[in-house]
Structure formats: C-alpha cells, structure tokens
Amino acid sequence: MTSEPGEAYVWLWLPGATEPVVAGRLAPAGGAIDFNYGRSYLARADAIPLYLPELPLEPGRIPPPPGLSIAGCIDDGAPDAWGQRVIVNHILGNRDGDTDPAELGRLTYLLASGSNRVGALDFQAAAHEYVARDTGTAPLEELLQAAERVEEGVPLDPELDRALMHGSSAGGARPKVLLEDGGRSLIAKFPSTTDRYPLVKYEFVAMELARRAGLDVAPVEIVEAGGRNVLLVSRFDRPAPGRRRALVSALTMLGLDEMMGRYASYADLAEIVRARFTDAPETLRELFARIVFNVLVGNTDDHARNHAAFWDGRDLTLTPAFDVCAIPRGGGEASQAMAIGPEGFRSSEVAGCVAVASTYQLSEPEAREIVDRQIEVIEAEWDDVCDLAGMGEVDRRTLWRRAVLNPAALVGY
C-alpha cells in the first residue's frame, strides 16, 4: 500500500449555502478513522451534525459506530468501485494490469477523488483554504473513450486523466462521469466493455416506466456519443447553482457497511421512516411502490446504497429513486437484494409484497391498487418507452416477460 495521509478535513455546504465551511477533521485511530468537529464549526449558530446518531455536535474525537471503520455519512461521499478504478489508474498507472484498489487507503481515495461528489461534503488536505478538484473537462465522446481505456487498464493522457478524475467520486461499479451542461448537473452513465446487454437502454426503460407509473424518480434521457448510447441522469442533490443538498444512503441509516449490506432490509428501513422521516405515511407508500416496481421490472440490484434520503441536520426526506434497471434473468424465481418483510422475506413476488403491506402502513386493498396500477402502466407504456430508448425487437424480447412482468413475479397474485 502507498503511504496513507495522516488526516483529511471535511468541508460541508450548509443548507442554502453556496460556499463550503470546514466542519472537522478525519484521522486514523487503531484501524478505524475518527472524526473531530472543529471548534470554529461548533461555535457557529447554523452548525448542523453531519448525521445523527453517528456524529452528534460535540467536541472531541468521535469514533465510528460499532462494527464500522468510518462513519457511514462520511463513507457515502467516498468513491465506489468505478471511482476507485479511475483513481488507481491515475495514481498507480497500469503496471501490466497488476493494480489492486486495496493498495490505496480510504483517506487517499477521499482526497484524490473529484470534489463534485454526491451530497454536500468534500474532503481537503487543509482546513484553512478550500480548493475544488474539478478542473478537467472534455467532450462526452472523449470521456467515453477514456472510460473504456480505464476498464482495459490503459493509462490516459494528462488532460483526459484530469477530466475523468472529475467524476471519480460518483458511486457505483459502472463507468460514469459527472457533467455540468447549461446549468444542469448530470451523471453520464456509459456502457461497459463487459456488458452482455445494453444496460444503458435497460436502465432508461425502467426509470421512464417508473416515472410514468407515478414514482418519484430522477429524470433521465438517452444521448449518443461516439456511436454509443449514454444515459444522462439529472442530479437531485444540486438544487441550484453553487448549492448542494446533504444526503445519506440507506446503508448509513441502517448502521451497516458494505460487508454487512446483505443484512439490510426494507422492513428495518420502514421503521426508520416511521420514526425519523418527514411525511412518514406518504414516504412509506412511496417506498412500498418502489419495492413493487423493482419486482415487476426485474430490478434485483436494489441494495442499500441504491436508496437515499436528504438530511437537513434534523430530519430525513426520501430522495427520488435512482439506479433502477431491468435485469434479464434465465430462470423464473429471483430475490431482491433487501428483505421486504419483517421475517426476512425477499422473493421477487408481488403477492408476497402485498402480504406484508402492513409493514408500510398500507391495507391489502391499498397495496393491490398500487400493484394493479403499475402493471397497467407497464403494459400500456412499454412499446412507447422502448421506442424512446431506440430499443430493437431482440432486446425487447430479452426483457419482456423475462425481466419485465416475469410470470414468476405474479405467481399467487
């Protein structure tokens, strides 16, 4: 492993602010990373905790919660698998493909990744001056080619390297960059060189069907770059130029890390919604509707990093849905990444969802109304949405009744 920094400073955009302030310091401590609020931050009348109960507004070192090596709200701002690959390529180079993300430590990733990260945090080497790491830019076609070279382990020229590093703080495992376009903040999601299916189109189809079915989702569009399809996703954590909205993942809300993510459940998340969210009844209805939609379109990658809530220092509010993708499967039976019911039920079946509807404060008729409405919309809008995606007949057949409205999802309903 390369030499790891001894500290990193956390900068925060407070609610409504257009400039960040330094909130505190991260430092290694016995295999974990502790956080310490700065005295000047604690003295501010408008200071908010970075997240509760993890990091209450108090002086002194605050260790991570039990079982974690760093506070989850901090880790939510760290680069995920794709961003780590970009940073490894930037710092270590190709070295004949012999590069391991574990060679770099967590503070290195926080300080090396782009500043335009998800949420309202950034990380700096100094407490006295904020310097954004967002200087690179390039046409979308060149960024797509650069992402392909990273997947192949090929070093980039300096300008493209800087441009791709701009989006290295984005989460997820698939190639992507962060863009600013005419005042819009976007995530551009690229096809991967290892894709068996046109997943960019499949994600567009799922997200657009979700919108038409009445779910609150991030707006998406498909564009072409270099003869390839690219999905553009509008960022909901950028409400206006210069402003950022803090958010935390469901993984953080549940007090889990990536290794413990398999224990995440919608039922536990529903308990948190009832206790801590704004407009809990409507949020529970929306959460249930998202679960049902995931089942109906075959999105089984609904893990706890793919759910999030805005954080204003006191309350949580569900963000729009994101990363919803129809995923073809060979067999009929499937399971969701998060358990749906309180007894660990996770089968991809809408009948099972209806059976546990009370977990989401819904009656059986209310739950059935949601399911029926979604099935109706999917059947009615399928062809039009596929046309918008430019999806051919072969790909439509690959999804229809295999991922989307798979008969196994409707067993017993």
Q: Which residue has the higher pLDDT, 85 or 267?
A: 267
Domain shared by 225 and 252, yes or no: no
Structure confidence by residue, pLDDT tens digits, 212-261: 999 999 999 999 887 888 899 999 999 998 999 999 999 999 999 988 98
CATH number for the domain spanning 261: value is 1.10.1070.20
pLDDT digits (tens, 9 = 90+) for 86-143: 777 767 765 444 555 566 788 988 998 888 889 999 999 999 999 998 655 666 676 7
Among 27-36, 142-151, 230-239, 256-265, the least confident range: 142-151
- The answer to whether residue 37 is domain-embedded is yes
The pLDDT, as a whole number, for residue 182 is 77
Question: Are 63 and 186 members of one domain?
Answer: no
List helix spans (H) across 298-362. 350-355
**281-310 average pLDDT score:** 97
Query: In the β-sheet with 32-37, what is the strand arrangement from edge to edge?
Result: 61-62, 32-37, 21-29, 8-12, 121-124
Quote the number of domains for the chain. 3
**pLDDT higher than 90, residue 183:** no
204 pLDDT tier (thresholds 50, 70, 90): very high
Residue 127 to residue 38: CA distance in whole angstroms: 9
Structure tokens at 123: 């990380």
Q: Please indicate whether residue 140 or residue 286 has the higher confidence score (pLDDT).
A: 286
> CATH code at 221?
3.30.200.120
Same domain flag for 58 and 112:
yes
User: Which of residues 124, 155, 188 is at a domain's end?
Assistant: 124
| Nearest-angstrom CA–CA distance, 20 and 165 | 21
Same domain? For 256 and 404 the reply is: yes
Say which residue, 1 or 234, is predicted with more confidence: 234
Q: Does 94 lie in the same domain as 50?
A: yes
- Same domain for 405 and 281, yes or no, is yes
Query: Structural domain of residue 402, as residue ranges?
Result: 247-410
100 shares a domain with 150: no
Cα 367 from chain centroid (whole Å): 27
Q: Are residues 268 and 405 in the same domain?
A: yes
* pLDDT computed for residue 221 by the predictor: 96
- The stretch 73-85 carries a mean pLDDT of 82
Q: Are residues 399 and 274 in the same domain?
A: yes
In a domain, 3, yes or no: no
Q: For residue 234, which of 174, 283, 181, 169 has the smallest C-alpha distance?
A: 181
DSSP helix/strand/coil, 369 = helix
Q: For residue 26, tell me if it sits in a domain.
A: yes
Domain presence at residue 112: yes
Alpha-carbon distance 163 to 167, whole Å? 8
Radius of gyration of the chain (CA): 21
Residue for token digits 């109906």?
296
| 179 and 228 assigned to the same domain | yes
- Could you tell me if residue 240 is inside a domain? no
The answer to whether residue 242 is domain-embedded is no
**What global pTM score does this model have?**
0.91
Whether residues 332 and 379 fall in one domain: yes
Give the chain's end-to-end CA distance (angstroms, integer). Answer: 53
